[in-house]
Structure 1
Amino acid sequence: MALTLEQLNQATPDAALAMLDGLYEHSPWIAQAALAQRPFASLAQLKHAMVRVLAQAPVDAQLALIRAHPELAGKAMVANTLTAESTLEQNRAGLTQCTPEEFARIQQLNADYNARFGFPFILAVRGPRGLGLPKQDIIDTFARRLNHHPDFERNEALRHIHRIAEIRLNDKFGYEPVLGNDVWDWQERLAQHSDEGFAEKGQLTVTYLTDAHRACAQRISHWMRDSGFDEVEIDAVGNVVGRYRPAQEGGQYLLTGSHYDTVRNGGKYDGRLGIFVPMACVRELHRAGKRLPFGIEVVAFAEEEGQRYKATFLGSGALIGHFNPQWLDQADADGITMREAMQHAGLCIDDIPKIQRDASQYLGFIEVHIEQGPVLTELDIPLGIVTSINGSSRYVCEMIGMASHAGTTPMDRRRDAACGVAELMLYAEQRAAQDGDSVATFGMLEVPSGSINVVPGQCKFSIDMRAPTDPQRDALVRDVMAQLDAIAQKRGLRYRAEQTMQAAAAPSAAAWQLRWEKAVAAQGVPLFRMPSGAGHDAMKLHEIMPQAMLFVRGINSGISHNPLESSTADDMQLAIDSFSHVLQQLENESV
């Protein structure tokens, strides 16, 4: 029989500890310390209480916990001495039915891993959906994590231990993240569509108005109809728009959504999570036969990434009247213009101006998005409240010196362009770090026609500088560019610098950020405020209406724009519950 939080909160200390037996392998002290914080208002609050206990424990205690775990498909499994929980988990992942070749490979990986790190490899083998990972995924992850730094890998092991404990706790309390599972499944099914040339390699790529892109639009529109949206259309630029009407005709709408295109060989959750979270909320309203004082408009933006054409934020930009007609004449790598692609997709180019939104008809814009970074996962916090989307400035530069013989040119006579750039890179790294939340990146670095025995006479490079506010970004840019000039003068070099992009910061509207904070607090998880280093559709809507974003933790170090991008159904459920709470707040405010 499933436990309840009421039973746990009211039980004696010994009885409560017995209820949580087996969550952390042979380590009851974690649950025991967390239980001192009773009563718990939610399972999420209990989970995080145990996370904090382990985070505050000495490294020796953390290592002892890791070493208390059995190897995957290891000696304990063979000897049938695993705990009941570990047996269930390894069996569900198919590790008890390995072929001789798979078993030998895992045994070798176990030996290599233990030799490198001094503790067993830990993986939550039931995976982000709780159903069990395929054996090949387990083996691939095993091999990949062998390359990690030991300190990082110790923390990664602890993160997987927390995920194992989360699933075990769900089992004890009979809890299932039903809507989180649905959202996770929608994303998996949408990922079945990928552009030609990538699908054959098992890679996910969906670029603007390709066959795969249009298939995604059709599938999203069908799911919106099935979820109970009153109106669903694909607009003049390919955005999929679903509208759930308010209780009274003429009411304002809450605008939300994100993009469904991807980068090349990207992940399944970037953008798409922000479409399906509100879609699940609308479906629940429809199932309950409930209308709100305001309507809900969910937009699956057709283009955000700028992969096929240089038209980043095309989908959300069109909603604020920022579609540039000159884009229509751009040609992709195959020579197909955007105009031709739109006509082939059956879009009506003449109607593009008609889809511009009247901000007075909307309450504001909110967006749920996977974090795309390591902060939340390293802190073991499932949700983050975005304070601002960083303003950014990009430059393409060239440092020019004099090429000379590497053997015959003394060090004090050189005009080395690459060394000048290297000095600038180190300065920018230190200068950005002074702010705490500014970043500077030299993503492209090239010595044209470089040779192993020639002092570089030329070095091409890019600089991407971002900060949560425009003044902070501008100060960073000013200092880095001044240093570029000073380095060039000191070293006898010349340089060229061209600004290729400037985007204003988009601070969250205070009232909307507060609504997200109340919603997250209601789930029993800590409030964590953070800027967004990446750009989002919310940046465009910010220009005409208030906006605020919610981040959802990503696993695998929070990696994004990558096949390893992922999140758990449990974290997605928390995002859905938080979104629903925002809807409740807005409803209460309307009374």
Structure 2
Amino acid sequence: MSQTLDQLNAATPGDALALLDGTYEHSPWIAQRALAARPFRSLAHLKHALVKAVAAASADEQLGLIRAHPELAGKAMVSKTLTAESTHEQGKAGLTDCTPEEFAKIQQLNADYNAKFGFPFILAVRGPRGTGLSKREIIDTFERRLHHHPAFELGEALRNIHRIAEIRLDDKFGADVSLGNDVWDWQEALSAHTDPGYAEKGQLTVTYLTDAHRACAAQISGLMRDCGFDSVHIDAVGNVVGRYEGATPDAKALLTGSHYDTVRNGGKYDGRLGIFVPMACVRELKRQGRRLPFAFEVVGFAEEEGQRYKATFLGSGALIGHFDPRWLDQKDADGITMREAMQHAGLKLEDIPKIQRDPARYLGFVEVHIEQGPVLTEFDIPLGIVTSINGGVRYVGEMIGMASHAGTTPMGRRRDAAAAVAELILFAEQRAAKDGDSVATVGMLEVPSGSINVVPGRCKFSLDIRAPNDPQRDAVVRDVLAALQEIADRRGVRFVIEEAMRAAAAPSAPEWQQRWEKAVESLGVPLYRMPSGAGHDAMKLHEVMPQAMLFVRGINSGISHNPLESSTNDDIQLAVEAFQHLLDNLAAEQAH
């Protein structure tokens, strides 16, 4: 029989400690310190109190906790001296049933890892869904993490220990994460569709209006119908639109959604999480036979990434009347125009203007999205409240110096274009860091027809600068461009630079940000406010209606635009519950 939080909150210190026994391997001190935070408001609150106890511990205590864990398929497993919990977990992942080759491989990895880091490799082998990783996934992860920096790997070990503890607590308290599991499974099923050339490599790539893209739209449409939406259709640009009507026919609607296209060799969660989380909410409303005082519209945007055609935010842009007819003549890598692709997909170009929404019919736009960064995972916090989507400016430039002989040109007489750009990179890095939340990146760097024995005469570069508000962004731009001029003058080189993109920051509407905060607060999860460094569909809707976003923590240090992008069933469960709270609170507001 599973325990309850009420039992834990009411228990004597000794009994409470016994109730949490085995949560953290051979380390009762963690539960002992966390119990000072009683009463726990939720299981998520208890989990965070345990995480905080570890975070506040000394470096020696943290290392002791890591070293208290057994090696995977190691000596303790062979001698059958694992704890009951570890035996169960390693068994679920098939580690108690290794072939001699697999066993030898894991033993070697254990030895190499221990030699490099001085502690055992720790992985939550029950995985992000709680059902167990395959041996292949475990060995691949082991090999990948062997190359990490020691400080990073220490953090990764602790994060995996917290995930192991989370799953053990779910078991102890009989946690219901069925909504998180369903959303996780929907994403897994959708990732079966991928563009030609990528399927063979086992990579996920879904670009605008390919067969895989249209198969995704059909699958999302079918799921929406299964969930109980009143109407589902694919609009004139390929957006999948599901609508769950309000209690009255004239009710305004809350708009939500995200995109279902991906970058090349991307992850399964970017965008898609923001379609499936609200779909789970609609399914629960339908099951309860419940109508809200407002309609709820969920949109799977057809295009956000700008991969097949240079038309970023096409799906959400079309909803605000920003579809540019000139895009139709753009050609993809195979010479197919967007017009041809749309006609092939059976989309009616003449209907595009009709899909523009009237903002007066909407309460606002909210979006759930995987964080796509390391912040939440490093703070061990499952959900983040987005304060603003950063504004950005991009430039492409070229530094022009003088190509000359690397052996005969004295250092003081060089006009080295690459060295000048290198200096610019370091300045941009230092200047952005001064603000704390500004970022500056030189992501492309090229010495055209460079040679090992020639001082670079030309160097092409890109520059990407972002900040949570436009004045802050513009101040960084001003300083970086001034430094560029100063570096060029001092080094006797010249440059050409052109602005390639400019996007305004999109601060969250305060009342909608507060609605997310109230929803997250009621889960017993700590409130963490943060800007979004990446662009999102919410930026487009921001131009015509109030918007606010909720971030969900990613695993694997929050990596995104990468096959390792993932989240756990527990964090997704919390996202669905937060969305349900937002809907309930909004319904209560409308009733008054």
TM-score (norm. length: structure 1): 1.00
In the TM superposition, 1:97-496 aligns within 5 A as 97-496=97-496
Distance 2:356 2:175 in 1: 43
Q: How much has 1:47 moved relative to structure 2?
A: 0.1
Distance 1:23 1:65 in 2: 12
Partner of 1:499: 499
Structure 1 SS opposite 2:206 = coil
Structure 2 SS opposite 1:26 = coil
Partner of 1:40: 40
Structure 2 SS opposite 1:217 = helix
Distance 2:321 2:290 in 1: 33
Partner of 1:514: 514
Q: How much has 1:585 moved relative to structure 2?
A: 1.0
Distance 1:95 1:219 in 2: 35
Distance 1:302 1:97 in 2: 44
Structure 2 SS opposite 1:36 = helix
Distance 2:424 2:38 in 1: 53
Distance 1:576 1:32 in 2: 31
Q: How much has 1:181 moved relative to structure 2?
A: 0.3
Is residue 29 from structure 1 mapped to residue 29 from structure 2 by the alignment?
yes
Stretches of structure 2 lacking an aligned partner (at least 5 in a row): none
Distance 1:74 1:243 in 2: 53
Q: How much has 1:235 moved relative to structure 2?
A: 0.1
Stretches of structure 1 lacking an aligned partner (at least 5 in a row): none
Amino acid at match of 2:178: V
Structure 2 SS opposite 1:463 = strand
Distance 2:524 2:176 in 1: 17
Amino acid at match of 1:209: L
Amino acid at match of 2:149: H
Is residue 548 from structure 1 mapped to residue 536 from structure 2 by the alignment?
no
Amino acid at match of 2:291: R
Distance 2:331 2:459 in 1: 30
Q: How much has 1:356 moved relative to structure 2?
A: 0.1
Q: How much has 1:236 moved relative to structure 2?
A: 0.1
Amino acid at match of 1:541: L
Structure 2 SS opposite 1:501 = strand
Amino acid at match of 1:357: R
Partner of 1:50: 50
Is residue 16 from structure 1 mapped to residue 50 from structure 2 by the alignment?
no
Distance 2:439 2:108 in 1: 40
Distance 2:311 2:193 in 1: 22
Amino acid at match of 2:117: F
Q: How much has 1:37 moved relative to structure 2?
A: 1.0
TM-score (norm. length: structure 2): 1.00
Structure 1 SS opposite 2:386 = strand
Q: Residue deviations 1:36-75, cap 9 Å, x none?
A: 1111110000000000000010000000000000000000
Distance 1:464 1:39 in 2: 47
Partner of 1:524: 524
Structure 1 SS opposite 2:450 = coil
Distance 2:564 2:514 in 1: 32
Distance 2:178 2:10 in 1: 27
Q: How much has 1:200 moved relative to structure 2?
A: 1.0
Distance 2:249 2:316 in 1: 26
Distance 1:309 1:155 in 2: 39
Distance 1:178 1:31 in 2: 27
Structure 1 SS opposite 2:461 = strand
Q: How much has 1:582 moved relative to structure 2?
A: 0.5
Amino acid at match of 1:42: S
Q: Note the aligned Cα RMSD (angstroms).
A: 0.4
Q: How much has 1:163 moved relative to structure 2?
A: 0.2
Distance 1:76 1:471 in 2: 59
Q: Residue deviations 1:388-413, cap 9 Å, x none?
A: 00000000000000001111100000
Distance 1:174 1:545 in 2: 41
Distance 1:291 1:588 in 2: 12
Structure 2 SS opposite 1:548 = strand
Q: How much has 1:176 moved relative to structure 2?
A: 2.8
Amino acid at match of 2:25: E
Amino acid at match of 1:423: E
Distance 2:101 2:411 in 1: 56
Q: How much has 1:539 moved relative to structure 2?
A: 0.1
Distance 1:379 1:9 in 2: 25
Amino acid at match of 2:150: P
Amino acid at match of 1:92: K
Partner of 1:535: 535
Q: How much has 1:268 moved relative to structure 2?
A: 0.1
Q: Residue deviations 1:132-185, cap 9 Å, x none?
A: 001000000000001111111011100000000000000001113110000000
Distance 1:99 1:23 in 2: 30
Partner of 2:562: 562
Q: Residue deviations 1:320-347, cap 9 Å, x none?
A: 0000000000010001000000000000
Q: How much has 1:28 moved relative to structure 2?
A: 0.4
Amino acid at match of 2:338: M
Amino acid at match of 2:63: L
Q: Residue deviations 1:477-512, cap 9 Å, x none?
A: 111011101110110001000100000000000000
Amino acid at match of 2:526: P
Amino acid at match of 1:320: I
Q: Residue deviations 1:528-561, cap 9 Å, x none?
A: 0000000000000000000000000000010000
Structure 2 SS opposite 1:518 = helix
Q: Percent identity, aligned pairs only?
A: 78
Distance 1:401 1:590 in 2: 65
Q: Residue deviations 1:361-415, cap 9 Å, x none?
A: 0000000000000000000000000000000000000000000111110000000
Distance 2:308 2:473 in 1: 29
Distance 2:118 2:590 in 1: 59
